Structure 1
Amino acid sequence: MAAFNLRGLLVLASCTSLTGLLPPKAPLVPRCSMPMALAPSPEPAEAFDELASLFEEPAAEADASAAHAEAAEEPASTRRKSRRKKAMIAVVGRPNVGKSTIANRLTQNFHEGGLVFNEAGVTRDRTYGEGFWGGHEFTVVDTGGIVFDDKEGEVFLPQIRQQAMLGIAEASSVLLVVDGQTGKTVLDEQISAFLRRQKVPVVLAVNKCESTVDGAMQAADFWSLGLGNPFPVSGLHGTGMGDVMDELIKPLPPPPEEGEGYDDATDELRVALLGRPNVGKSSLLNKLTGTERSIVSDEAGTTRDAIDQTVYNHGTKFTFVDTAGVRRAAKVRKGIEELMVRRSLKAGKRSDVCLLVIDATEGVSEQESRLARFIVESGRACVVLINKWDLVPNKDDALYRTSKKYLQKRLPQIAWAKSLYVSAKTGLRTSDVFDACREAAAQHRRRVSTAVMNEILEDGVRWQKPPATSTGRQGNIYYCAQVAKQPPTIAIFCNDPELFTGTYRRYLESHFRKALSFEGSPIRLLWRGRPRREVAPGAKSAKLD
């Protein structure tokens, strides 16, 4: 990953033992560790020239190469159609001026938009959302706070700055957000000087101007930034945002003609990466999408918000969502980490397929078991990714079979999920993730006819009859039918659901799975009893007479 104002950045690897998925007597192979050295930051004027040179020509070359690779990967029938990408609006500024609040206001997505918390440096990666105004559909890019002078101990400042500059490079219009209550700062002037050197149009929004009386006076202080009319706005209440939106859409291309779309993907899948902190989720996202989409570091908890990136593979639109690492509930701190965990779980519920990422050098912990139960309860398709497989020594067929049995034993809830042994660092088998997700989603959306279902049910009951109670009551099954999909849901109609024990219910679920597979997808069995007939009081008295 290219980083700005950063020279001599070395990879920091912690020494961990290769345990968990290895045999009990496997030798411990330590991983190397090297110190990380940060070079002193150059002056802001030098940083401007360096950033501008890195994002003028290479950005166009990268877009051309990406478009060429995308066109070569898709079928000829898909390439003949024109694919139009939505224009992008980048929201930038120094830390803690309300950029995420403004971005959520632009997308009108306050519950699932950018993470908002009263703390500087909450947003680190780029987060995307969809907006609409004046007939224009566009993508809003929320970025982290830009700081040109690196501070000792602030490890993520160069990476956050790089993510913000990437957002500016791909934007059709930039919204610079400043704090009207704090007033103009030196950092605001530095960012404005950098943006004036760029070719992209810039709109200046003075946030936190809730007062209609003092708002204009607060905004007047920012005329000296040289970016034109400063608009007093309130991201919290939405005051003045209409004028800002009108200004932002002026440089955007005209809306598409009738019948013309923005993309022609034949199918769309939303895939969430779930796992404990520091298992390699962000590295996998970057490898799968072929971009430096997420910040990667050896420090646990680097990713804070749900980061999504779209990639096309053989006519299918994959939207991968990188989530924050989920720790045990007892270790989750109140505040920003609690919001991070909630966002991660919500992203998992909204996805079509969940990729459960496990560190091959550490094995399966109790937290992976909890996440597996969460995936089953949410009814999501699942693929298990054992990452960092390149660090496991002496790999052979025996070790592979042993690790497969180990996974089935430690994660019985998702024994039906396909497992892939991958390496985000070397790219080992990462290309197989697309096919695995596609197959799991197909099983998740599968529907089976009622006739086939009842043949399988009849065969299962013939092999093992329902149990009887101590009083002689026998459970009777009449018929079944698939009543829903995503996940496949089977309703079984019987005389009394209470007569069927958990053991027999698991037997029938296993029987359906053996006959129909449903690999990669959970299935649900709904037991429906026959309603008891009630005798009217008048009819009973007539019989007695």
Structure 2
Amino acid sequence: MSKPIVAIVGRPNVGKSTLFNALAGENISIVKDTPGVTRDRIYADVEWLNYQFTLIDTGGIEPDSSDVILSQMREQAQIAIDTADVIIFMVDVRQGLIDADSKVADMLRRSRKPVVLAVNKADNYEKSLPDVYEFYNLGIGDPQPISAAGKQGLGDMLDVVVGYFTENGQEEREDDRPRIAVVGKPNVGKSSIINKLLGENRVIVSDIAGTTRDAIDTAITWGGREYVFIDTAGLRRKNKIKEELERYSIIRTVTAVDRADVVVVVIDAVEGVTEQDAKIAGIAHDRGKGILVVVNKWDAIEKDDKTVYKYTEKIRETLSFMPYAEIMFVSAQTGQRLAKLFDMIDMIVQNQSMRIATGVLNEILSEAVALQQPPSDKGKRLKLYYITQVSVKPPTFVIFVNDRALMHFSYTRYLENKIRDTFGFRGTPLKFIIRERKEREK
């Protein structure tokens, strides 16, 4: 089940970033140890009560004229409407109701998406109440008075936000078709790959209106099995400032990746692998998805017997945080090797859902410990008691140890490699949770 997406929209200086930071707190998901991924704080994973959701900051607007502000706010609101399940529309009680607020409220109202109206800077509740009531005039429901800076009223606001999840979330994921997000920079050939798969193979095409989202998902039948492709194309927007465009594409990528089982990261063979590719792949890695790196336009490359090897090496280097990712070389233009895409996807889906018996895992663990002594610190040695698999998609393991502080990242990596040596798990990340157990509990 994908996490719901909540987007924050509002004029400059109403406190969007303050709210984003207050809700994201310290648990900022922007890939802590993933090299090559810059920490653009565009999205963060937030937990409230028993709900988890992805919070998106649609971006700051800093122009001076009110016309530009309005057009950029519309732009932001459109991003939110396209991608979010729930929209937080922020206004400022001190500035009162402004024309731009009303115009954006009209757009949001027409979108029929749930909107939560957050009236910020209501630090003194009693005093600002009459001013809060003024925002009823926007016609998008009850204003929620909050103070993002003082962290007041956030709980009540979040209760309203998560109240919308259950209404939308229930019917969304009843089908068990593999869902594949095709992501990558603009112009690498994402849509061409999907179109080629559709057109050449006389497959049955049906456009499923994206359940709660507006992205059109495409169902493709191959070898008697149906797959749903989520396309993140649609970034053909002229004269957009580069940062804006990049921000928008990252938001689109996060929302598509969240809904997918397998993420196909498309790289342009002519241009080679870039930092931006690493950033995009990092989002999928971060969210524990199966990953297939597809190098497109392979027909356009001059090749000798070492080309594939050199290329693979460069990709492995740039995407060093995901050595498990599968790599394929294709051409959407000629259709070269595209048929193999489905075999790869099937394998990755299978690996994502693989479960390993606890007995077998513990045999691997004791063998690994015998081969390489666990680390120690100040005379205290790490002891590993027990390992068990607790979930799939991605396969997640809990390891019980005597002292978490002694469990170095490198030793976890070593154990991961041992498990991979036996079971492969190609194309999927593995997640390890380290739990402490006192000697006597054991």
Q: Deviations over 1:398-434 (max 9, x none)?
A: 2112222222122112221211100011101111111
For 1:350 and 1:417, the matched residues in 2 are separated by: 19
Q: What displacement does 1:375 show?
A: 1.3
Match of 2:244 among 323, 333, 342: 333
1:509 aligns with 2:416: yes
1:274 aligns with 2:177: no
Gaps of 5+ in 2: 1-54, 57-71, 83-108, 111-138, 141-173, 206-213
1:357 aligns with 2:292: no
1:486 aligns with 2:397: no
1:343 aligns with 2:256: no
| Residues 253 and 280 in structure 2, CA contact (< 8 A), matched pair in contact too | no
For 1:314 and 1:456, the matched residues in 2 are separated by: 36
Q: What displacement does 1:338 show?
A: 4.2
For 2:405 and 2:242, the matched residues in 1 are separated by: 39
Match of 1:444 in 2: 352
| Residues 250 and 280 in structure 2, CA contact (< 8 A), matched pair in contact too | no
1:377 aligns with 2:281: no
Match of 2:227 among 303, 318, 322: 318
Match of 2:336 among 428, 432, 454: 428
Q: What displacement does 1:388 show?
A: 0.4
For 1:355 and 1:278, the matched residues in 2 are separated by: 15
Q: What displacement does 1:397 show?
A: 3.1
For 1:414 and 1:504, the matched residues in 2 are separated by: 17
With normalisation by structure 1, the TM-score equals: 0.45
For 1:497 and 1:457, the matched residues in 2 are separated by: 17
Q: What displacement does 1:314 show?
A: 2.3
Match of 1:497 in 2: 404
- 1:78-89 paired onto structure 2 within 5 Å: none
Q: What amino acid maps onto 2:354 in structure 1?
A: R
- CA, structure 1 residues 454+532, in 2 after alignment: closer, same or farther (shift >3 Å)? closer
Q: What displacement does 1:340 show?
A: 4.8
- 1:41-190 paired onto structure 2 within 5 Å: 118=74
Gaps of 5+ in 1: 1-110, 128-206, 209-235, 238-264, 294-304, 535-545
For 2:180 and 2:189, the matched residues in 1 are separated by: 16
With normalisation by structure 2, the TM-score equals: 0.55
For 1:416 and 1:275, the matched residues in 2 are separated by: 19
- CA, structure 1 residues 362+340, in 2 after alignment: closer, same or farther (shift >3 Å)? closer
SS at match of 1:333: helix
Q: Aligned pair count?
A: 269
For 2:235 and 2:372, the matched residues in 1 are separated by: 41
SS at match of 2:333: coil
Q: What displacement does 1:442 show?
A: 0.5
CA RMSD of aligned residues (A): 3.5
For 1:319 and 1:350, the matched residues in 2 are separated by: 11
Q: Deviations over 1:360-386 (max 9, x none)?
A: 011111111122222111000011100
- CA, structure 1 residues 420+325, in 2 after alignment: closer, same or farther (shift >3 Å)? farther
Q: What amino acid maps onto 1:432 in structure 2?
A: K
Q: Deviations over 1:199-239 (max 9, x none)?
A: xxxxxxxx97xxxxxxxxxxxxxxxxxxxxxxxxxxx98xx
| Residues 372 and 413 in structure 1, CA contact (< 8 A), matched pair in contact too | no
For 1:314 and 1:410, the matched residues in 2 are separated by: 34
| Residues 324 and 341 in structure 1, CA contact (< 8 A), matched pair in contact too | no
Q: What displacement does 1:268 show?
A: 0.8
Q: Which has the higher strand share?
A: 2
